[in-house]
Structure 1
């Protein structure tokens, strides 16, 4: 007698494949979000670099204007004009006090610029700020790297930072020269410090130095 085999129904689906698909979808979603954030960060970084470069370019306007003050028609061109402060030209005849980063304290105030020099006297520049593009404002000060007012000849080299002449050797030892030349006054060094205030309370600081024979 033949026995009939039991009839088996279709195997029960346990949903394992569906679970793996959901995990893969979650991983792909997280990867897509990470890529989008990375792109946003890269775009923001590139935009910030371009923004900073634009502010630096606008800061060059102040350096150019400061240099023009020493030209023939400038406020600091005449003989002896650099011996004392010229507030209208944002010029201090005495070196200005700075913070740890070398920025003159006079430029650290948002408005009503004023700050001490190395002698403790308050310097208050009154020159008109430069209006840059995009709503930016450029402010600057010029200070002579000396510890007193007066002409460079009267202060002496011990009171100023100056550029050594060709007749001087490093360290000031004239005995090292085979043929010491005549004593030629070396011009002191002037420093231009610039602050550019841009949109969204951004700031850029620039500095440059130069010499001018006195």
Structure 2
């Protein structure tokens, strides 16, 4: 009996060490997955906050004044980051002016960039008139337009004239935030041209 006891002592120790190693590895895996989940949720929170801050650009664009009628013909108006025609976009539909600073220089100026809630948040935006040619007045043939169908009654035009055609403007914004987080948003609105 004495010989069998000596051979069993080492086996229990090896088995205990293997179980301890498995438990440590399991604990490390749980810690790593929790850190990944926290990092992911933190990045999502940053992105959501940046989307909210990007609304500043939309508000500024809607409040901007654009050229109307014959003044709409021509080139971009740099002091309001305005383009009278639709800008070229990448595969995701983001205007190249927000991706490449040299392209942005043809549409706007960096001094128009907005600062977010903190100094490390920068908001750059462009405003496009969704037309394929910079014509004097928007029409359904050369622009994306918003048309209200006549509804009759008191809302109907008394002289049976066609309802006013309003061009659609699109504001696109790029927000750079902490941890090099980038968010792009787009919004459309209309304004009368005359």
- The question of a shared fold, defined as TM-score above 0.5 by the shorter chain, is answered with yes
Select which of 185, 193, 196 maps to 2:164: 185
| Residue 114 of structure 2 corresponds to residue 130 of structure 1 | yes
Matches within 5 A, 1:27-38: 27-38=22-33
Computed over aligned residues only, the root mean square deviation of the Cα atoms, in angstroms, reads: 2.4
How many Å apart are 1:82 and its aligned residue?
4.4
CA distance in structure 1 between the aligned counterparts of 2:56 and 2:139, rounded to whole angstroms: 33
CA distance change for structure 1 residues 134 and 41 in 2, over 3 Å: closer, same or farther?
farther
Q: Deviations over 1:59-86 (max 9, x none)?
A: 11111111111xxxxx327666544432
Aligned residues: 180
- SS state at 2:128 partner: strand
Larger Rg: 1
Q: Any idea what the Cα deviations from partners look like across 1:13-71, whole Å, max 9, x if unmatched?
A: 322222221111011011110011011111101111111112112211111111111xx
User: Once the two structures are superposed, what CA deviation does each residue of 1:63-120 show, in whole Å capped at 9, x if it has no partner?
Assistant: 1111111xxxxx32766654443211001111111111111111111x34437xxxxx
Q: Which has the higher contact order (CA 8 A, sep 6+)?
A: 2
Q: How does 1:24-173 map to 2 (within 5 A)?
A: 24-69=19-64, 75-76=65-66, 82-84=72-74, 85-109=76-100, 111-114=101-104, 123-126=106-109, 128-132=112-116, 133-152=118-137, 156-167=139-150
What secondary structure does 2:31 align onto? helix
Distance 2:13 2:55 in 1: 63
1:110-136 superposed Cα distances (whole Å, 9 cap, x missing partner): x34437xxxxxxx33125211121412
Q: Which runs of 5+ in 2 are unaligned?
A: 152-159
Quick one: distance in 2 between partners of 1:51 and 1:125? 27
Task: State the 1:183 CA deviation.
Answer: 1.6
How far apart in 1 are the matches of 2:181 and 2:44? 12
For structure 1, the 5+ residue unaligned runs are: 1-7, 70-74, 116-122, 169-180
Residue aligned with 1:189, SS: strand
Whole-angstrom distance in 2 between the partners of 1:81 and 1:147: 16
Structure 2 Cα separation of the partners of residues 139 and 18 of structure 1:
64
Q: Is the 8 A contact 1:162 1:187 kept in 2?
A: yes
